[in-house]
Amino acid sequence: MSNRRYARREARLRQQCEDQLQGIEISDPCAVDEVCRQLAIKRGRPLHLHELPEVGGANSPCGIVISFESEDHIFHVGATSERHRAQIVRHELAHLLLGHAGGDDAVKSLLAVLPDEIHPSAVIAALGRTSYDSETEYDAEVAASCLGELFDDLAHSGRGSGRPGATSRLDDALVHPRRNRRS
């Protein structure tokens, strides 16, 4: 694929993410829990975040999203930095926002018949996505990066920050010296 095609694809993904984030206000670009809460309200369906158990290994999944009839669940590793956790959740959110999510039918079927003593996150840990080979994984990873940029833009635009304009501008000047200054 040519660079121009990748650029167009990224622009399309960014626009899709922007459209989905209309009306969302955040104060911290890493506050994915708050974004998930607001998206759940906006979409009119619960969105739950769960920590995956530590199963170790290089091929263990970092995250997975499963959509059921009336709610969505994002599972993510817990033993990681807050920044990495935020990227994992943004990646899984990207699957939801781009319409990729639904959950693997085999995983959902298995979860439906599990005995109560087997925690669903253990199954997800064993069966989760670990490859970025497919087009949907590529799109989700690019969109997750776009979401990170959009969250940062929202957090530093003064929308939802609760900070007065001068304080917000001072914060931008000190924290983000290369960011375009507000007038």
- Residue predicted with more confidence, 42 or 168: 42
Element spanning 99, H or E: none
Question: Would you state the pLDDT for residue 121?
Answer: 65
Does the pLDDT at position 49 exceed 90? yes
Q: Specify the pTM.
A: 0.69
Average pLDDT over residues 130-158: 78
Q: Which two tokens stand for residue 11?
A: 């622009």
Per-residue pLDDT band for 40 (boundaries 50, 70, 90) equals very high
Per-residue pLDDT band for 48 (boundaries 50, 70, 90) equals very high
Cβ pair 17, 143 in contact under 8 A: yes
Residue whose C-alpha is closest to residue 32's, from 161, 151, 149, 150: 151
Per-residue pLDDT band for 167 (boundaries 50, 70, 90) equals very low
Say which residues have a Cβ less than 8 Å from residue 64's Cβ, sequence separation at least 6. Answer: 74, 75, 92, 103, 107, 124, 127, 128, 129
Residue whose C-alpha is closest to residue 94's, from 27, 14, 156, 28: 14
Strand 47-52's sheet: what is its strand order?
47-52, 72-77, 63-67
Average pLDDT over residues 37-66: 82
Q: Where are the domains of the chain?
A: 3-175
Question: Would you state the pLDDT for residue 168?
Answer: 46
Per-residue pLDDT band for 104 (boundaries 50, 70, 90) equals low
Cα–Cα distance for residue pair 73/70, rounded to 1 Å: 10
